Amino acid sequence: MIERVVIDVDRARVVRLQMPPDPHRSSVCDDVECSGPFEDVEWSADGRQVAFLPTSRDHKEAHLRVADTDSGRVRQVLEEKVATYYESGNDAHNWRFLPASNEVIWFSERDNWGQLYLYDLQTGRLKNQITTGEGTSRSCSGWMRRTVSSTSAASARRRVAIRISFISIGSDSMGRT
Amino acid sequence: MRDTATGKETQLTRDGVKEFGYATDNAGWIHSDSPILLWSPDSKKIATFQMDERGTGDMYLVSTNVGHPRLEALEASRCRAIPGSS
């Protein structure tokens, strides 16, 4: 099990997040480091908040939480519970912490395909579904903070070949290009 | 933490012990001596963890190579907890 901490490096101060230990898991692989750095962790630009995604050992539950990095206080934003196996993306997590616009981009296969959804960061309420249709949003590879537009590589299923198309889409699901 | 400009080292944590260390990358056959962490954008803070591996048991790796295989006994701190581990 891992006990999450935030270290203030100038003061060498360790803040232990106020929550029980988490399984040694992430939503991308059976480890907390998959192909990049510490997986399922995103910082706010000012370093005052950190978002993270504890995942159950059997990958059936994931809980998106945000911690105050000074006090260690933690609050839950949203959770995903599935009967099979929750993976938030290929190679890297597919959710994005957007404190500047008070939003979260979330990945779910709840409509049978992997899609991106936009949530309110404060209330945890679903605002709208960002991507739709047949094909999985494989990665939320970029977004603009001001307009909160995401770019996803949507893989569309074909009989013979799998085509991966790059699309840019507004987070209100309008403006698909 | 080492300042790459001056070489000065600063100890950040003091209560890490064997099998309950900070930022350890030792759970499983993929392991390294590098810490697992994520810096804040302003490089003032680090998000990481202290991993409790007390109560896990030993595991072994057997090499695949020409000639006799080598048996590598992984320290308890290097093994993956299995069902039944506390």
Contact of A18 with A73, CB cutoff 8 Å? yes
Position A148 in a domain: no
What token pair was written down for A91?
Answer: 């190679």
Q: Three-class SS of residue A136?
A: strand
CB contact under 8 A, A41 and B10: no
Which of B8, B11, B48 to probe by mutation at the A interface, max A CB count within 10 Å?
B48
Contact of A113 with A130, CB cutoff 8 Å? no
Cα–Cα distance for residue pair B14/A30, rounded to 1 Å? 28
- SS3 sequence, A62-96? EEEEEEECCCCCEEEEEEEECCCCCCCCCCCCCCE
**B34 interface with A at CB cutoff 8 Å:** no
**What are the chain B neighbours of A47 within 8 Å (beta carbons)?**
40-42, 44-45
Position A77 in a domain: yes
Position A12 in a domain: yes
**B41 interface with A at CB cutoff 8 Å:** yes
Q: What is the pLDDT along chain A (177 residues), one digit of tens a residue?
A: 999 999 999 999 999 999 999 998 999 988 898 887 899 999 999 999 999 999 999 999 999 999 999 999 999 999 999 999 999 987 789 899 999 999 999 999 999 888 889 999 999 999 999 888 877 776 665 554 444 455 555 554 444 444 555 666 666 655 554
Asked if the model's pLDDT at residue B56 lies above 60, the reply is: yes
Position A34 in a domain: yes
Strand A96-98 relative to strand A74-81, pairing: unpaired
**A–B interface: beta-carbon pairs under 8 A:** 88
Position A121 in a domain: no
Range of the domain at A54: 5-93
Position A58 in a domain: yes
Closest Cα partner for A96 from A53, A46, A36?
A53
What token pair was written down for B36?
Answer: 């697992």
For chain B, how are helix, strand and coil distributed in percent, rounded to 5? 5, 30, 70
ipTM computed for the complex:
0.82
CB contact under 8 A, A9 and B44: yes
Return the residue of A nearest to B1 by Cα. Answer: A9
**What are the chain B neighbours of A52 within 8 Å (beta carbons)?**
47
Position A9 in a domain: yes
Query: How many domains does chain A contain in total?
Result: 1
For chain A, how are helix, strand and coil distributed in percent, rounded to 5? 0, 45, 50
Position A110 in a domain: no
Cα–Cα distance for residue pair A100/A44, rounded to 1 Å? 8
Strand A126-129 relative to strand A115-120, pairing: antiparallel
Closest Cα partner for A130 from A144, A120, A117?
A117
